[in-house]
Amino acid sequence: QVRLVESGGGSVQAGGSLRLSCAASGFTSSRNCMGWFRQIPGKEREGVAVVDSDGKTTYEDSVKGRFTASQDNGKNTLYLQMASLKPEDTAMYYCAAKVGGCSWLLRLKYYDYNYWGQGTQVTVSS
C-alpha cells in the first residue's frame, strides 16, 4: 500500500520561504508520478507542481519562478521549495501520487491521482 506523509508546513510572512517534504513508501514500480496540490475551503483542489519519473516538472502558472519541485529517488521523498510566498498561497498542501507516468493532459488534475497524504497547512500573512 502506497503511503505519503507530508511535513514542513507552517506560518510565514509574505516574501518568506518554506520547504515541504513528502515521504513516500509502498511503491512497487519505479515509474511513478508525484505532485503537490493545494486546497482552500470551498474551492477545488488545484495542482501546484508535479514531477514525472524522468524528473520532468510541470508547474501551475501562478507559482512558476517561485516554487521548485524536486524528487530524491534514493530517499523516496518529494520536495516543494516555496519562495516569495504570497498570502494567496495560503492553503492546505497535499502530496499526491499515481503509478505510471504523469498524464500529459491531466497531470495537474487532482482526479488523476490515486494516493494522497494527509496534508500540511501553509499560511502566509501580509
pLDDT, mean of residues 80-93 = 98
pLDDT, mean of residues 14-40 = 94
C-alpha cell at 37: 496540490
Going by pLDDT thresholds of 50, 70 and 90, the confidence category of residue 101 is confident
On average, the pLDDT of the chain sits at 95
- For residues 36 and 80, the answer to whether their CB atoms sit within 8 Å is yes
Rounded CA gap, 13 and 26, in Å? 36
Which of 69, 79, 77 has the alpha carbon at shortest distance from 107?
69
Percent of the chain with pLDDT over 70: 99
What pLDDT does residue 104 have? 87
C-alpha cell at 28: 512497487
What pLDDT does residue 86 have? 98
- For residues 74 and 12, the answer to whether their CB atoms sit within 8 Å is no
pLDDT at 38 > cutoff 80:
yes
